[in-house]
Chain A
């Protein structure tokens, strides 16, 4: 079945391809596709594209050559005479050219991704139209090669290096035992209160680590907080329920909770049923968690991780059963709903700070201080950039304008 369709489609494809590259020209040129000047022009011949140049595509892994040209003077837009450009390639200067690709009118560049590194190529480009193509203009020889460093990303390397240095520096400081201050994070003060209330009421604690997989760093942050909450539920002998929507999160969740119960000295209270998988489907998961909420009536609900539309369904259902709700996410779209419907909300970066705050682990606190250094850098550059740009705009000073542009370019990624 498959083979048959394959055979049927190949000749069709060739015909269609030829049509796309202006069929009459190909017929006039005979069976070969060697680009040559057409000897009997029907009307005035098309003007060829100008300034054809080919060079190795920069900052890549190799195997790629960029070809650029200036528009043919007859390329005057969608309704002009030129319908497109055809690019040819050969390994020798004067013969053996094969059609590489056809591009629509208005194009002035293309990338040949089929080049073999180290081989010399010659290119020719011609303008095409329904009646006759233009003369082909050549460029080359050119070789493709891979680069060892992407120069366009030099600034990123510098910025990344600054951040990595700051974070690692403070982590080491923390590991050495230096005291590091962390401001109060109000949502987290409530964790103990919430677990305590659940214990008093004899009701379970519900923990939702978001609906994303472990490839989302927010889920990892949620798991770290789960470790701290699980230690408390183990100590207070309060029931903990962690329904999850990803099987890998379930695996990590079980490891995390088990370790926490072990550290709290209550491995006997641990069971694999604490962390259980429901379904990968977002709303199937929500339907089930809503069911768990209205039936088990947890006294405390924690939503810490990456959330999407389900955030409000969960938070409103949690509110209707009168649970204390602590939420935290770095999904900006869902923060408003948590802020509106929960008792406490960890906003954005606070989610990542939470694990350091709760564990009081010095290395974690150190990395938090490193993040702050990153923020200081960001604020500094923003203010400097704004000041220079404003002064430049107000005074019209060229040097300032240049400096402002340089600053902006340092934070440009392309």
Chain B
């Protein structure tokens, strides 16, 4: 019972969506449409579940006064500050009928001064890591590594004047070796071939995994038959 009903739900939903692809007629068109909408709504409940769990973990840390509990307090305060500002529409011009992230609202203020800079800065760390990774990894140790290195090197040169001046003097029949031309060729020929093969492989992997899920062969996500 605890596993058979979920397996049945997965089967029915999965099959209905696949069939809807080929049979546009009622009821599959309606199911296809509504399942998408339902999924969107359930996704929001997942946010709530996530928030609930986050609080559970950090409140427990604060109660136990475990290591770094003061930082957990920062998480909890940040969480309630943003949630309160957003759900209660604090500072929104026009009150309840206003836009929750209108200019002047506390929610937008917190977004601009904390969320946005934190996100963008975390992301920008990549510029540093890309450099350190290429320094370490792009060494001609094996034939595979050399191919990786050469392709990356040519593409890296592409937006720089160096790439242009290194090869612009090449005579017409050898112009295909000019860095901008060569990099376009690498992107649209070998890169494309590799990406395409990966895509085909992945598509097959996804098709077969989906099939296993629908047929109930792959079910480790459902856990055990026991309670909880």
Contact = CB atoms under 8 A, between A and B. Distances in A.
Interface of A: 1-2, 59-62, 146-150, 153, 156-157, 160, 163-164, 167-168, 171, 213-215, 217, 220-221, 223-224, 227, 246-248, 250-252, 254-256, 258-259, 262, 273, 276-284, 286-287, 309, 312-313, 315-316, 319, 330, 332, 335-337, 339-341, 347-349, 351-353, 355, 363-364, 367-368, 370-371, 374-375, 378
Max chain A C-beta neighbours (<10 A), residue from B94, B199, B217: B217
A312 B126 contact: yes
A340 B132 CA distance: 10
Contact of A247 (B50, B200, B222): B50
A193 to B, nearest CB: 20
Given A147-B25, A255-B221, A352-B206, A375 B119 contact: no
B84 interface: no
A217 B213 CA distance: 9
Contacts of B223: 252, 254-256, 258-259
B134 A340 contact: yes
A1 B39 CA distance: 32
Contact of B133 (A160, A215, A341, A374): A341
Nearest to B67: A295
Contact of A349 (B18, B57, B201, B211): B201
B211 A164 contact: yes
A55 B3 CA distance: 49
Nearest to A347: B198
A284 B224 contact: no
Given A330-B202, A335-B198, A220 B218 contact: yes
Given A255-B221, A277-B54, A312-B133, A156 B211 contact: no
B1 to A, nearest CB: 16
B195 to A, nearest CB: 6
B227 to A, nearest CB: 11
Given A246-B50, A312-B126, A167 B224 contact: no
Given A61-B26, A280-B50, A353 B205 contact: yes
Given A217-B205, A378-B200, 19 more contacts: A61-B24, A61-B26, A153-B21, A153-B22, A276-B53, A277-B54, A278-B54, A281-B119, A283-B119, A312-B133, A313-B125, A340-B133, A348-B205, A349-B198, A349-B201, A352-B206, A352-B208, A374-B204, A375-B204
Contact of A287 (B118, B148, B220): B118
Interface of B: 18, 21-26, 29, 39, 43, 46-47, 49-50, 53-54, 57, 94, 97, 118-119, 122-123, 125-126, 129-130, 132-134, 136-138, 148, 195, 198-202, 204-213, 215, 217-218, 220-224, 226
A150 B24 contact: yes
Nearest to B39: A215
A363 B212 CA distance: 9
Main secondary structure of the interface of A (DSSP, over half): helix
Contacts of A315: 133
| Top-4 shortest CB links A-B | A255-B223, A352-B205, A349-B201, A247-B50
Contacts of A168: 211, 215
A285 to B, nearest CB: 10
